[in-house]
Amino acid sequence: MPGLLLALLALLQAPRPKYIPTPPQQPLPFSHKQHLATGLECKNCHEMPEPGDFAGLPATAKCMSCHSAVKKDSPSIQRLAEYHKESKPIPWARVYRIPDYVFFSHKEHVTRGKAACETCHGPVRDFDVMRKEKDTSMAACMDCHRTSNAPITCDYCHDQR
Ligand code: HEC
Ligand code: HEC
Ligand code: HEC
Ligand code: HEC
Ligand code: HEC
């Protein structure tokens, strides 16, 4: 019964049930849609400092380069200015997170893997509120590695344990 076996295998490898992308509560009402409409690019705010594992989040100084003038009377911009004055990073709630025991490099995926930000994060340009649009489970990583002929051996993504 190779048909049944194949069906069972497919079931085992199917991605886990789709999660509902409920956005977390954020300290300021930041909109990607509004900011990308000003002509900014992803890399202007997400700089990927060497070695490029992380995409990083912008410092308040970056925000204040506009908001020391733009909308400075808005209550949320006043809160932003407060964080900046006290040299406190904005306590953004994380949307995407994988465990520390998994190797993952943004730079490698964008350069060697030729993946677009949107492939893994969805249509960010249309988001008023950032939400987890794409799956980052092991099954999801494996799916793309299979279709793009990238390795899927355990030690490619994990320490030998
Ligand atoms: C003006 C600066 C700015 C620009 C430009 C920008 N971002 Fe962001 N991004 C932020 C800030 C601030 C946050 C944290 C707040 C939030 O999650 O909305 C964030 C959060 C994110 C997150 C979620 C991070 C996490 O896991 O918590 C992703 C993914 C992201 N941005 C992708 C992008 C992509 C893709 C682009 C380009 C299409 C882009 N951003 C352009 C400022 C920016
Ligand atoms: C191959 C999939 C993939 C691609 C392509 C990708 N990301 Fe990510 N991104 C992730 C994963 C997975 C995480 C969670 C990383 C972690 O927890 O260490 C993440 C996290 C982030 C974060 C949160 C901060 C951080 O570094 O952990 C930001 C911001 C972000 N990505 C922006 C971007 C931008 C901008 C691009 C395009 C230049 C991009 N991503 C391309 C998968 C991807
Ligand atoms: C290139 C200039 C620029 C940068 C850099 C920038 N913003 Fe903005 N921001 C704008 C513009 C333009 C608006 C829309 C103003 C309007 O509604 O007329 C805006 C709107 C906002 C609003 C909504 C304010 C309100 O009351 O409607 C918030 C919150 C905000 N930005 C936070 C941030 C944060 C946080 C950063 C840094 C991560 C940032 N901005 C970086 C230009 C910028
Ligand atoms: C969009 C497709 C895609 C997705 C999604 C994806 N990868 Fe990759 N990944 C690639 C490609 C392509 C390469 C480059 C392979 C090569 O150069 O032979 C790569 C390379 C890697 C590398 C080696 C790069 C390095 O740092 O040396 C690791 C580790 C890795 N991926 C882990 C992950 C993990 C973990 C996830 C899920 C969170 C993931 N990948 C999701 C396509 C993807
Ligand atoms: C392409 C990258 C990739 C490869 C290859 C990979 N994994 Fe994973 N693995 C992940 C990611 C990402 C997670 C974390 C998923 C999450 O919980 O967010 C994970 C999680 C795990 C966990 C923890 C599961 C849990 O629920 O606690 C185990 C165990 C594991 N992997 C074993 C393996 C084994 C065994 C192999 C080889 C057959 C393997 N992995 C190959 C990316 C990978």
Task: State how far the alpha carbon of 101 is from the alpha carbons of 10, 55, 90, 144, 158, in Å.
Answer: 27, 18, 26, 20, 6
3-state secondary structure of 93: coil
Ligand 2 site: residues with CB under 6 angstroms? 42, 46, 54-57, 96-98, 104, 106, 109-110, 115, 117, 119-121, 136
Q: Cα angle at 90 between 87 and 94, to 5 degrees?
A: 145
Give yes or no for a contact between 84 and 60, defined as CB atoms under 8 angstroms apart.
yes
Task: State how far the alpha carbon of 92 is from the alpha carbons of 36, 80, 108, 138, 152, in Å.
Answer: 19, 12, 25, 25, 33
- What is the structure's pLDDT at 22? 86
| Secondary structure element (H or E) that encloses residue 155, with its range | helix 154-157
- Cα 92 to averaged position of ligand 3 atoms, centre (Å): 15
pLDDT digits (tens, 9 = 90+) for 58-90: 999 999 999 999 999 999 999 999 999 999 999
- What is the structure's pLDDT at 7? 56
| 125 Cβ closer than 6 Å to some ligand 1 atom | yes
Percent of residues in the chain assigned helix, strand, coil, to nearest 5: 40, 0, 55
Which pTM value belongs to this model? 0.93
- Cα 32 to averaged position of ligand 1 atoms, centre (Å): 7
- Cα 95 to averaged position of ligand 3 atoms, centre (Å): 20
- What is the structure's pLDDT at 2? 52
pLDDT digits (tens, 9 = 90+) for 120-136: 999 999 999 999 999 99
- What is the structure's pLDDT at 8? 52
| pLDDT of 3 strictly over 80 | no
In the chain, where the domains are located: 26-57+92-157
Return the C-alpha torsion angle 68, 72, 75, 77, nearest 10: -30
1 pLDDT band, cuts 50/70/90, is very low
